[in-house]
């Protein structure tokens, strides 16, 4: 996959080549491309003059960084204790069935990426599902379809 290295270059320049800004740089790249392309990581290492392995270590350490291309919308399902007792597992099962993907996978039409998280800190809203940064609290298996449909039609337009 071709990556626009000019964009990477602009992002790195924004931080004036400071090695300590690596996380911030990776976050910006992830915002730009929706994931961290290998070529972008190489370019970052080169520009910051740090070993590629350091960049790679950082990118694999944090769960919020993804080295695989992600879908347009990120579906995050909370499996924390409060959500778990309120049936988050059923929600996850329903979403898996609807999207036909496993945890960490992206749908074929590159629309959704399914991920789980151990707590979102919004336990009162549980079971909770986040799509594209929007929180959907008090989820139920019968509500899943409507939420996913909403984003699907939004994404197609």
Partner 1 sequence: MLKLKLNGVDVQAEEGWTLLETARFYGLPIPTLCHYEGLSPYGACRLCLVEIGTGPNAKLVSSCTYPAEEGLEVRTHTRRVSAARKMVVELLLATCPDSKTIQDLAASMEVQKTRFKVRHDDCILCGLCVRMCSEQMSGKAIGFVNRGETRKITTPFDIRSEECRLCGGCMYICPACQLRCQGPDAPGVVCGSCLNVSPVCLEEYEDALCYLDPCCQCLKEEVKKK
Nearest to 134 by CA among 148, 153, 119, 118: 148
Residue from the set 34, 46, 56, 132 that interacts with partner 1 by CB under 8 A? 56
- Work out whether 128 is an interface residue with partner 1 (CB under 8 A): no
| Local structure of 155: helix, strand or coil | helix
Give burial (CB, 10 Å; 0-12/13-18/19+) of 63. exposed
Task: Using the structure block, give the residue that is written with the tokens 């491309």.
Answer: 33
Q: Which is nearer to partner 1, 37 or 80 (CB)?
A: 37
Residue 58, number of CB atoms within 10 A of its CB: 18
Token couple for 32: 């730009």
List 1, 6, 16, 61, residue binding partner 1 (CB under 8 A)? 61
E strand residue ranges, 4-144: 73-78, 112-117, 129-131, 134-136
User: Applying CB under 8 A, which part among 46-54, 81-89, 93-101, 122-130 lies near partner 1?
Assistant: 46-54
Residue nearer to partner 1 on the CB measure, 60 or 81: 60
Nearer to partner 1, 55 or 75 (CB): 55
Question: Cβ 18 to partner 1, closest distance in Å?
Answer: 19
Would you count residue 41 as binding partner 1 (CB under 8 A)? yes
Asked if residue 121 binds partner 1 (CB under 8 A), the reply is: no
Looking at residue 35, what DSSP letter applies? Answer: S
CB of 144 to partner 1, least distance (A): 30
Asked if 32 and 3 count as a contact pair (C-beta separation under 8 A), the reply is no
Q: Within positions 89 to 118, which residues make up the interface with partner 1, using CB under 8 A?
A: none
Near partner 1 by CB under 8 A: residue from 57, 100, 118, 138: 57
Residues at the site binding partner 1, with contacts judged by CB under 8 A: 38, 41, 51-57, 60-61
């Amino acid at each position: 996959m071709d990556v626009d290295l000019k964009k990477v270059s602009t992002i790195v320049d924004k931080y004036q080549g400071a090695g300590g800004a690596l996380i911030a740089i990776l976050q910006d790249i992830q915002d730009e491309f929706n994931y961290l392309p290998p070529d972008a990581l190489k370019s970052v290492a080169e520009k910051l003059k740090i070993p590629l392995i350091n960049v790679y270590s950082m990118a694999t350490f944090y769960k919020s960084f993804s080295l695989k291309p992600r879908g347009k919308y990120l579906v995050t399902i909370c499996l924390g204790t409060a959500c778990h007792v309120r049936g988050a597992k059923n929600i996850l099962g329903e979403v898996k069935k609807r999207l036909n993907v496993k945890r960490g996978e992206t749908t074929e039409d590159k629309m959704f990426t399914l991920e789980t998280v151990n707590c979102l800190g919004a336990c009162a809203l549980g079971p909770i599902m986040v799509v594209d940064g929007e929180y959907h609290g008090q989820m139920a298996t019968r509500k899943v379809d409507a939420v996913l449909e909403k984003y699907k039609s939004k994404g197609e337009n």
